[in-house]
Amino acid sequence: MIQTLLSQGHWTWLILGLVLMVLELLAPGVFLFWLGLAAMVVGLLSSVIALPWEAQILMFALVSVLAVPLWRGASGPKPGTNRLNKRGEALLGREFTLDKPIIDGEGRLRIDDTIWRIVGPDLPAGTRVQIAKAEGVRLTVAAIEPE
């Protein structure tokens, strides 16, 4: 059975690769894509070089075994970059113009589609401020001296 399929040459591998990639679209998990890519690589190589079916299966296994861990390592979270539930930290150092004054050390600042609670010295509306600190949902701002 396997010999019959693989004796058809590169078309079997190319079709298998395409089927695996379509299955990845239907059930995403970014795992079948790499198996499909491995099948496509074997199909392309077997169209150029006549390979026995044993070598084709071995090549498919090797490319699959190498592709999946390489992708997992490249796409995994990088140490120190976990920003989940830490949106305020991403704003550190950014500059904004106050649209409302800071009164009694507290105010609000619209950043993109969110209104943040801010603390800092009393400042009038229109003052340029920089985000100096983020504590949960509260940002500490400091006035930027005009140049």
Domain boundaries, the chain: 1-75, 80-143
* Average pLDDT along the chain: 85
* % residues pLDDT > 90 (the chain): 44
What pLDDT is stored for residue 11 in this prediction? 86
Rg, Å, the chain Cα set: 28
Q: How many Å apart are CA 54 and CA 129, to the nearest integer? A: 67
| pTM check: above 0.75 | no
Q: Which CATH superfamily is domain 80-143 in?
A: Nucleic acid-binding proteins (2.40.50.140)
- Spatial neighbors of 46 by CB under 8 A, at least 6 apart, are 9, 10, 13, 56
Q: How many Å apart are CA 130 and CA 97, to the nearest integer? A: 9
Question: Where do the DSSP E strands lie in the chain?
Answer: 95-97, 106-111, 114-119, 128-135, 138-143
The answer to whether residue 35 scores a pLDDT higher than 60 is yes
pLDDT digits (tens, 9 = 90+) for 121-138: 999 999 999 999 999 889
Handedness of CA 7, 12, 14, 20 (dihedral sign): negative
